Every structure is written in structure tokens, then in C-alpha cells.
Structure 1
Amino acid sequence: MRYELMLPHQIRKAIAENWPVVLPLGVLEYHGEHMAVGMDTLVVVKTLDLLEKERDIVILPPFYYGAASYAVAPPEGTGSVQVDGKALAPFGEELFYSLLRIGFRNIHAFIHHQTENFAAGMPTDLAFKTAGRQAIFRFLEKHRGEGWWGAETMPDYYAGHAVGENFFNWVRVHSLMPTSMNGKYPFDHAGIGETSLMLALCPDAVDAARFADNTGWYTSSARDASAELGRQGVAMIMDNLRATLSA
């Protein structure tokens, strides 16, 4: 369900049944002359739309204002919006802390931008990962008091981890495309892989007539994109979403 459309009794039901609460996390970044600047976020939004038809989830309003960077192109006339990670982390902490106060304990953010380096981290995902940890520590210290971990009531803390009871799983950040897709689907920026995903999920975000206007090396394969290839990528992404949110 879309969070902004939920009534309080539906929110209470989602809390009681521990539905996944999902934040589509992304950026607005130049993706060549042929593709919309919102691609990195749109791919998360559109695949979550598909997942919503299969299972109970809460989908938060998407966050488009991540750290796009100007690595691809300067912003003048191209549309990239850059918000520094130092500004993102405080926002993310307040957002996650608020969701914890509401009662959610199964909170996830999915990101596609710069996730070829997801294991090491890049500015947007690192900011929100840090924000999630800070929000959890802050919440626990407020509601359990300082020294909560060392309290006599916590001797089963590590045993709980073995059966999946981990406070720090209350907020998690994931890559939309897992490493298991490496070599099975093209990972690129505005090339055949991303263009195909948009042709499959949001064809209005692609204008094939603009392929000839591209000058960046990274767009050279885009003209070979197809909705059929995109559907193959979407199927793999959907498998990852199902597995991650069922864990």
C-alpha cells in the first residue's frame, strides 16, 4: 500500500503483521540525451509497483534527492541534482527514527544509483546506512535507557542473532540489483542495460529519436536496448526483492 494513502487502522495492521516498509531511494542524474533524469529512482519505484501486486508491503513516497554527483556531466543544462551525503544523513536519521516511533520494525531502502560499489558504499547509500544505525541506537537508548545492551535482561542478545532477532535489522539498505546478477545482465549507466529496464518498466522515460544526440561513451550501447532484455532484468530484480523482503 502507498503510505500516503493509508488510514490509521491500516497502519496499525501493517505494524501488527510486520509488513515490510520500503523506501525507494535514488537520485536525479543525467542519463544521456535519450533517457529521463529520474531513471535510477524510477526503476525502484516501478519494480516495487509490481511487487505490491503480489504481497503486503508499505511503499513510502520515493526520495529522489540523493547524491547524484557530477561525475557523469556538469549540471548546467543536463539536470543532475547533487545533495551532499553530509546533508542526507541527518534527514535519513530523522525519517527512520520517526518510522520506528510509529511502530515499524521491518524498514528497507532500495537503491540503484552507483551500486556497482555497494559493498564498499557510495555517498547516498552510506548516508542512509549510517542514518539507519543512528536512528536505531537513538530509539533504543530513549525507550530502554542508557546501558540497555549491558542490562541483566539482555544475556540472550547473541543467541537471538542466531534465530534472526537483531535490533539492527529494523532498518536496512539494499542494492536493487544484487551481485548475483553480475554477468547475467548488463550493469551500466544509460547504456543497453538501464535503457532496456526503462523500456520494460517506463517506456515514456526513453526517446529513441535522441540516441543520435548522445556524445558520452557510456551511452554507446543504448541504441541496442530492448524491452525484452529489460524484462529479463526486471525478472531478476523481482526475485531479489522477493527474497530480501521475505528474509
Structure 2
Amino acid sequence: MADLDGEWIQQRAELLEEGNRLKALYDSIGYTAEGKAAIYRVIELRKQYAKLLPEIPVSRCPFSGSAVSWPLDNIDLDGWFWEWDKPSRRRVSKVQPTWLAMGGAMRLAEPVTSTPFDCMPGPGAPYVVPRLLNLAETRAVIAEVPVGRHTGWAITYFTTHRPDGLALEDLWGSKTYDLYDSQGNWRAWSDYPQSHLDYSFDLRPWLESGKLLWIAPNDDSATLREGTADCPYLDLEGDHRLQLAFEGNVTHW
């Protein structure tokens, strides 16, 4: 694994520069001999990028107490991890048996880095999905996850009673989610159309009920905290609509 604050940043920059340049070349000349060589090289570069993604702390299970990390790009949104339609990610083949889903939100800092692809990092404020959090024996945890200059929030759901056939939430920044069995082994993928109408941005009742827990920003111990007292995620300003960033421009709906 590349070092987060040195080797990873350098290798990431080199991979993105070459990969984006070759993808643009392919788009301009098509499936010629030169174009074919270019796109095959892009595929290899994207695989290498996914392999190098650092494991970033995102949560802690309320049931087992175990910390949770996820391979993601926390440098900026121009990384292929954040390409909404076909992200380059390292599949997590096994999770904790209680892990259910992970969505996310992000407060974007201007100017937003130009990306040659659609990037959808969620709405501009943290939220929960009631259809998941209302399930019996289910809890959610909010944690701040900075992505470069942007303030991200991972919202992770855990359960001891895994639902059968219920639509979950697309994994943060993508259009699909992974399905795991009761032992935490990867089995398949699915998707669910995202809509801000499915979200609850009023976190207070969820915190008061104990269904929602939180981790303080910059807490290296990732200690789980309960209740509304001193919770930094209450009543945050931010657009509740979904955000789409493309070539430095952001639209909402």
C-alpha cells in the first residue's frame, strides 16, 4: 500500500495524468490500433489506481465495537474512485457481519476541481435513510471524512438482523451497492435510484432515540458517541439536493 501523504499522492497524480490523457486520445481517434492500445493501457492504470487506494477510517460498529475502514480516495474528487457511472474501486470482499450499507454527503469547497466525468458525492449536508434506520436492530454512525478541501460525511449502517430483499443505499459516490451474506462475505451487487426525498436531514430525533451515533471530527480513536450534546452534525447548513460535479461545475436536483 502506498504511503498516504507521500508516495500515494505522487503515484495518484501520475496515474490520473496518463490515464486521462490516453482516454481523451481514445475518444478522439476511436477503436483504431493506436486507440485500442491506449484504452487497454487505461484499463491497467485504473486497476493499479484501485489497488493503491488507502484504507480510510469511516466508522465503528455499535454492536461489536470494531473499527471500520474503506479503500477510498481522500485526496480530491478528480480521482477515479469518484467517477459515479463507472468508478475504479477495490472491491471489499468481506466486511463485518453487522455491516449493512454506507452512503455519504459532502460540503464542496469552491472552486471544485475539474473532472472529466460525472461526480456525485451526495447532498451538501449529512442525513440518514429512514427505511434503513427504522429496521429492527439497526444503527447508523456518522463520521466526518475529509476529501481534500471538501468536508465529507460517511453514514454507515449496521444491523444484527439483516433484511431480506430490502433495497439498500448506493455506496457513497457510486450508482450501485454491494450485497453481503450473514457472515460478511460479498455475494452480488444491486442498485437503488438515489433521491433526496428518501433522506432525513433532521438528525435530532434519530440521535435522541439512540438509533444514530457519531464520531467526533479528527478523533483518531474513533470513539462512538451518543445523544445530541456537543454533536457537531446537528443543523448543518448545506443544500439538501443531490450534487453533480462535472468539469468544475456543480448542479443540483
> Shorter-chain TM-score: what band?
under 0.3
TM-score by length of 2: 0.23
TM-score by length of 1: 0.24
Higher relative contact order (CA 8 A, sep 6+): 1
- Which structure would you say has the larger Rg? 1
Q: Which has the higher strand share?
A: 2
